[in-house]
């Protein structure tokens, strides 16, 4: 019975060892010359002017969520477009209803003025 699980155990041991080695290889072989420039916070070439703990506007999150929702729409439209002929009229009607649902959601978002930054 133990022989049946031996390949799985070996795979788990190998994966764990590989993860440990790969996460530490830079510490073992990389250069170790820290200075003020290397240890400073860097983002887009600009010096940080505010704390990282600052609150972010809810509108930022709303736009991010809306981007994800409308981006996922494309994920559903691509397979539909590939199989358009085989789906027939039922597939066409379902996709039109899906697009209309998203369109009405977009109109709702516009009416709520989510895209207006103050």
> How high is the mean pLDDT in each 10-residue block of the chain (118 residues)?
90 97 91 77 66 77 84 85 90 91 89 80
Are the C-beta atoms of residues 44 and 80 closer than 8 Å to each other? Answer: no
The gap from C-alpha 56 to its chain's centroid, in whole angstroms, comes to 19
At residue 92, the pLDDT reads 92
At residue 45, the pLDDT reads 64
Three-state secondary-structure class, residue 43: strand
At residue 48, the pLDDT reads 65
Calculate the alpha carbon distances from 12 to 3, 8, 22, 52, 105 in Å: 15, 6, 15, 38, 46
Q: Rounded to an integer, what distance in angstroms lies between the CA atom of residue 30 and that of residue 92?
A: 57
Structural domains of the chain sorted by starting position, each given as residue range(s) with its CATH number in brackets: 2-111 (1.20.58)
Q: What are phi and psi of 45, to 5 degrees?
A: 75, 5
């Amino acid at each position: 019975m133990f022989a049946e699980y031996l390949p799985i155990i070996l795979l788990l041991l190998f994966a764990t060892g590989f993860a440990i080695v790969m996460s530490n290889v830079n510490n073992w072989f990389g250069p170790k010359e820290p200075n003020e420039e290397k240890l400073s916070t860097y983002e887009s070439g600009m010096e940080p002017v505010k704390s990282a703990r600052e609150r972010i506007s809810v509108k930022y999150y709303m736009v991010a969520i809306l981007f994800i929702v409308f981006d996922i729409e494309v994920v559903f439209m691509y397979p539909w477009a590939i199989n358009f002929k085989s789906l027939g009229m039922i597939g066409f009607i379902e996709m039109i209803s899906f697009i209309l649902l998203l369109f009405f959601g977009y109109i709702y978002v516009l009416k709520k003025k989510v895209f207006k930054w103050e």
